Each structure stands twice: as structure tokens, then as C-alpha cells.
Amino acid sequence: MEQIHSKDTQTIADRLSDELITSIVKGDIPSGSKISEPDLARTFKVSRGPLREAIRRLEGLHLVARIPHVGARVVSLHSEQLVEIYQVREALEGMAARLACSNMTDEEIAELKELLDAHERNIEQSEGRDYFQHEGDFDFHYRIIQGSKNQRLIELLCSELYHLIRMYRFRSSQILSRPNKALTEHRHICTAIEERDGELAEILMRRHINTAQKHIEQEFQREEE
Amino acid sequence: MEQIHSKDTQTIADRLSDELITSIVKGDIPSGSKISEPDLARTFKVSRGPLREAIRRLEGLHLVARIPHVGARVVSLHSEQLVEIYQVREALEGMAARLACSNMTDEEIAELKELLDAHERNIEQSEGRDYFQHEGDFDFHYRIIQGSKNQRLIELLCSELYHLIRMYRFRSSQILSRPNKALTEHRHICTAIEERDGELAEILMRRHINTAQKHIEQEFQREEE
DNA sequence: AATCAAAATATTGTCGACAATATGAAGGAA
DNA sequence: TTCCTTCATATTGTCGACAATATTTTGATT
């Protein structure tokens, strides 16, 4: 009666879909490549039954696109789609910040502030290390989303859009070109939450994400030259 | 080379999942009931392979909740979850209205106005007929979402949240208690879009949905007495 | 009678085989 | 050569059977 959350109770299909998500996000299975069922079945040493169920899940997450009788391909993110994702993200995370103002405990807010302090130290210490910046950025956003206490919102952002954004980040690694500027924006958002000013927190979060979106657009424009 | 979109090319799993969605939304398969694979396979005269793939899709749409080795149950919407959905909807449809201001063509806006005229006539004619009000409400929102031209947003609202909201509407049929008030709000939103005022359109749409949310909360409170 | 243990039953999970469809290769006509 | 048709191959879709796990029933003990 203790092993409710034990890994053993997971099915092959569930485990497989998690592994496939990781492989796709990391780029081990490259963007645009075809998902061959016989190949993957051999690689992962499973039969095609659970594999197909896993693919169905990836399809729902928009990580692969499937055409009946033809097969599934890993999606490839173009600038237009990334902009679309960021518009959705702006709306949802704005709402998350607003809700977080009502629903985060004082303790959670204190931890959020500590997190930002840690980030500041990290930036001073490891100048230009992209990895920590990315992870740090995620931590911050992740906590606010969780702080909204809206399960639907959490699921949408952390389990659905999340993968696509990470997938993009793995491809082009310098997004947050100004870590200090980002940290400042994070601090302002945190302050608004501390003051329980939902209106302001939402506006600041939306502006913060909108800035990131504009940077991405610039990045793509530069690429196309 | 003409039959790309022909129905024949659909797989059993795809067709099945559509049918199951309809059954669940309409309530033919009631909320909270267990999805028995052997039963359903008999009912729909298919084997369990495609059926399981279909269930995976429903799981992704949050229409069923699955527990490994135990089975899947149709979700049952409680007031808390409905409020969560409406908070998400407020954020997303607000963004949709904002984007629609930039991206709808003059022609599409003209059609939107015509739609509202038709609704007005319908309300005068068939006082209290809930059905038309619901469908009309959907039409209006649907067109603005489409007008955003953001595929991700469209997919999210029209193919994912959509079902859950319809599921609720089938259960309790008097949501829009004031069709005239709703129509007025629709007109204001439409005017904002006509004037290409994204800021205002978003605010009005959010307020409109927020009102609906409050009505739902009242409805549930009354139920619990 | 109530509670627990163990066997019987049913359901979910997995697999390999076959059918249906699409893709690629070979061969022939313009 | 280039294009089209036909055939061969490979992949996807579907099915029925078996294994693993959960649920129910039974019966034994207190």
C-alpha cells in the first residue's frame, strides 16, 4: 500500500512517450525527421503497440505531425509558429502572474525572492554561461505558474507548451542576450506579486514575455539574411 | 490526386476518437463512468488496438483520466475546474480579440456584424430558446478566434478547451440568462474590432468572459444549497 | 456476523502476424 | 532522356491471442 507512485506501475507506452519527448526536445531525433515505427521499435526494444500509443500522445502535444497511412514526422519550428506560441504564452503567463498574486503563500513568495538572489550571484559568477540563465529563467517562470494554483493553466504551460519552447532553446542557445535586464524584469514582477498587485504583475509579465518574443523575431530575421 | 481530404483515408482510431468525443460531450457516455475497453470494442465493432489509441487522444484532451492497469474514466467537471477553464479562456480569448483587430479582413468584420444582426432577430423571434443562444454565442466567439489567425490559439481554444465547455453546457442548459445583455457586449466587442482597437477589444472580451464565469459560480452555489 | 486470505475472474497491457496502403524500382512508350 | 505504368517492397493499420495486473468472489477464521 506504499508503492502507489512507484515507477513499476508505469506502462511501456507511458515510459516510451516520456523518452521520446526527451529525445525530440534534445534534438536526438532531429526536427523534421520521420518517425519510423519499425526502427523505433527495434531501438527501444518494444513492440509497435505501445509505440503507437506513445506517438498518439506526442501528436496531442504537437511534437509530431501524423498523416494517416503515411506516418509521423517531428515538427519543425519556424519563426511564425514560435511567435504564435509566444503570443499564447504571453496571455497565459500574464494570467498566471495575476493569479499568483492572490494564491501564492507568503512563504512561496519569500522563496521566489531567494531564487532571484541566487540568480544574481550566478550571473556575477559565471558571466555569459547560457545554461544557468536558461535554467534560472525556467525556474522563475515555473514557480509563478505553479503559484497560480490553476491546474489547467499549470498543465497547459508546463506540460504542453513547455516542450516546444525547450525544443527551440536547444536549437538556438542565445536567447536571453541580456541576463541582467531579464533579472531586473524578474525583480519587478516579484515585487508586484509581493505587493499582491495582480493587475501590475500581469502587465509586467506580459511585457517581459513580449520582449523575449521580439528578440526571437530579430534572431530569425538575422538568420535569414 | 484529388482525394487527399477524402474520409476514406481516415483510420479507425481517428474516426473512433471523434465518435467518442461526441458521445462524451453529449453525455451518452456519462461523466465519471468507466471506459471499459471490451465493452466499447464490442459496441463499436473494432478491436482494442485502435480503441486504445483513441483513448490516448481523449486523455490528451483531458476528456478522460487514465490510471495504469486500472482503466480510464470520463472526467467529471466540478465548479473549481470550470472556473479554472474560464480563467484560461479569459486570457486566451482576450488575446484572440486583440489579434483579431490586426488580422481580420474588412470583409470578415462585416460578416461578423451581419452575424450579430441575425442573432438579434433570433432573440426577438424565439424568446428564451436556449439552443440558438448557445449556438449563436459559439458562432461569435468562434469567428473572433479564427480571426486571430494564430493557429496555435485556434487549436487550443477550438479543439481542446472547446469540448470541455460544451460538455458543461450540455449538462446545465441555462448559462446565458440574459441574451440581450450578452448581445450588447458582443456588439461592443465587434465595434472595437471594427475600429482596430486591440487594447479595448481585449479588455471587453475578457470582461465578457469573466461575467460568464461569475454566472457559473453563482449557478453552482445555488446548486449546492 | 465481520474480517481477512486466497483463489477465480475480468480487465488492462503487450506482442507477433496479417491486411491495407503508400513508397520506390523497373521497364516500356513518346 | 523524360514521363508514365506496373510491379515489388516497405510501412502503416488492424486484429486476435497471451501475459500481467487488478477486482471480485469465495471460504475460512475469529
| CA–CA dist A195, B18 (Å, integer) | 47
> Does residue A209 form part of some domain?
yes
Percent of all residues in chain B with a pLDDT value above 70, rounded to a whole number? 89
**Interchain contact, B57 vs A52, CB within 8 Å:** no
Return the residue of A nearest to B86 by Cα: A152
B133 touches chain A (CB under 8 A): no
Residue of B53, B69, B91 with shortest CB distance to A9: B69
Contacts of B4 in chain A (CB under 8 A): none
Classify residue B104: in a domain, yes or no: yes
Strand B71-74: give its sheet, edge to edge.
B34-35, B71-74, B64-67
Cα A170 to Cα A24, A57, A67, A167, B152: the distances in Å are 10, 22, 26, 5, 21
Q: What pLDDT was estimated at residue B141?
A: 96
In this structure, are B160 and B90 located in the same domain? yes
Do the chains contact at A153 and B88, CB–CB below 8 Å?
yes
A215 with A146, same domain? Answer: yes
Cross-chain residue pair B68–A152, CB shorter than 8 Å: no
CATH of the domain at B179: 1.20.120.530
- Distances from the Cα of A6 to the Cα of A9, A11, A53, A61, B69, angstroms: 6, 11, 21, 25, 13
* Cell output for B125: 423571434
Do residue B38 and residue B146 come from a single domain?
no
Domain final residue pick, A51, A74, A97 = A74
Would the pLDDT of B173 be above 90?
Answer: no
Residue B166: pLDDT above 80? yes
Cell numbers linked to B31: 461523466
Provide the grid cell at A198: 495582480
How many CB atoms are located within 10 Å of the residue B198 CB? 18
CATH of the domain at A57: 1.10.10.10
In a domain, A155, yes or no: yes
pLDDT at A222: 78
Of A22, A55, A74, which closes a domain?
A: A74
Query: Total structural domains in chain A?
Result: 2
| Residue B37, number of CB atoms within 10 A of its CB | 15
Residues B13 and B41 in one domain: yes
Domain stop point among A31, A49, A74: A74
pLDDT of B25 > 70? The answer is yes
Report, in ranges, which bases of strand D sit under 7 Å from a protein C-beta.
Answer: 11-17, 21-23
B49 touches A at CB < 8 Å: yes
**Do B126 and B102 share a structural domain?**
yes
B4 pLDDT above the threshold of 50: no
Statement: residue A5 has pLDDT above 50: no
**Lowest-confidence region among A102-111, A143-152, B75-84, B124-133:** B124-133
**Residue A88, pLDDT above cutoff 90:** yes
**Single-letter amino acid code for the residue at B190:** C
B25 and B64 inside one domain: yes
- CA–C1' B124–D11 (A): 58
Is A198's Cβ below 8 Å from some Cβ in B?
A: no
B65 and B16 fall within a common domain: yes
Are B98 and B199 in a shared domain? Answer: yes
> Does some domain include residue A1?
no
Residue A80's pLDDT band, with cuts at 50, 70 and 90, is very high
User: Rounded CA gap, B119 and B109, in Å?
Assistant: 15
Same structural domain, B115 and B219:
yes
B1, part of any domain: no
Look at residue A4 and tell me whether its pLDDT is greater than 60.
no
Beta-ladder partners of A34: A73
Quote the CA–CA distance of A120 and A22 in Å, as a whole number: 29
- Same domain, yes or no: A50 and A120: no
Q: Examine the pLDDT at B2 and tell me if it is beyond 50.
A: no
Residue A171 lies in a domain: yes
Same domain, B112 and B51: no
B213 within some domain: yes
> Would you give the DSSP letter of residue B221?
H
Q: Which domain holds residue B146?
A: 79-224
Å from A46 (CA) to C14 (C1')?
9
Residue A166 is assigned to a structural domain of this protein:
yes
Q: Are residues B83 and B193 in the same domain?
A: yes
Tens-digit pLDDT profile for residues B61-104: 999 999 999 999 999 999 899 999 999 999 999 999 999 999 99
> A141 and A186 in contact (C-beta within 8 Å)?
no
CA distance A96 to B87: 9
User: Predicted confidence band at A177 (pLDDT cuts at 50, 70, 90)?
Assistant: low
Q: Do B88 and A150 touch (CB under 8 A)?
A: yes
Answer whether A84 touches B (CB < 8 Å): yes
Q: Is the pTM of this model over 0.85?
A: yes
